[in-house]
Amino acid sequence: MEGVTPVGSEGNKAGESPPSDKSGRTGTEEERKVREAGQMRPGGQVVVFPSKTAGSSSSSYVPPPPPTPQQITAGRRRFVRFLVGVGALLSLAPYVPWGTFLSNSVSAGKGYVRQQVTVDNLSEYGAAAGRKVNVNDFTTFPPNSHWVITYPTSDDLALDTQNKDTFAKFELIRLPTELGGDAKDATAFVAFSKVCVHLWCSPNYNPDQPTNPNENGYRPNQSKHEQYECPCHGSIYKVPQGLAIDGPASLQTPPTNAIPMLTLSTDSNGFLMIEKPVWDVNHNGVLGYGRYVQQ
């Protein structure tokens, strides 16, 4: 075995026992010293340890030398470059169409069938809360008004209202009169997805908020907001088309620059209906991603 030297009894004749000390232990003087040092294994083998240097101690620890100024400077430079790289990526985040990475399974759920439109049962909606929408009811559903609806529904109004899945929520808007909101058919309404195609925040329709003269996307002399707007990064979708006309979503390439929407119709009694959607970019769109809009 490498590093192990058998101890012979040189100086003893064959068959003779090695001399013993006063304690009765046998072996040469060298063997006794080895035993006392704890370096002999059973069977007469000596474990050879590295030799100690002068003045060294087996329990002493010599720490590594401290870094040089050049090493410290190089480390700082690497850290600064790392921070600059992270900052650059974060600055680009608002302009990345994150909806591109949405799995198709999100928008391929079950239960997409033709259904009546029912407003979520929220107290802020007053008389419209929990009601089925009739296009002839201008008192409950006047032009330039909006409500949140759930689609597909579970047939349990309380459960639908409490549903926090934004991908199942849509903003139902009865258009302003100048855009046809006084019609007694489905063309008076639009229903946009509540998932912005930019970073999946929830846009809102704010018909009563005064416009700023410096804001983009509004008709000349338009005094109130009549667009679908995302509060997170300022994306603005034109009503009724749903095409992004301002903000980061408007900088994205088609079809990622238009909000998905539902197809609406009416039954024989004037109740608003949702037709079974086709979730692809050429029809109702892909939730969280977008759709093509013919301009």
The CATH number of whichever domain residue 132 belongs to comes to: 2.102.10.10
Q: How confident is the model at residue 101 (pLDDT cuts 50, 70, 90)?
A: very low
CB 137 within 8 A of CB 158: no
- Stated pTM of the model: 0.63
- The answer on pLDDT for 128 being more than 50 is yes
Average pLDDT over residues 73-81: 79
Residue 115, both tokens: 């259904």
| Whether residues 23 and 153 fall in one domain | no
| Whether residues 165 and 30 fall in one domain | no
- What's the angle, vertex CA 256, arms to CA 251 and CA 261, rounded to 5? 125
CB 234 within 8 A of CB 201: no
| Whether residues 135 and 259 fall in one domain | yes
How does pLDDT run across 179-226, given as a tens digit for each residue?
999 999 999 999 999 999 999 999 999 887 776 666 666 666 667 777
- The answer on pLDDT for 165 being more than 90 is yes
Domain residue limits at 183? 99-213+223-274
pLDDT of residue 91: 64
Q: How confident is the model at residue 102 (pLDDT cuts 50, 70, 90)?
A: very low
| Whether residues 30 and 163 fall in one domain | no
- The answer on pLDDT for 259 being more than 50 is yes
> How many structural domains compose the chain?
2
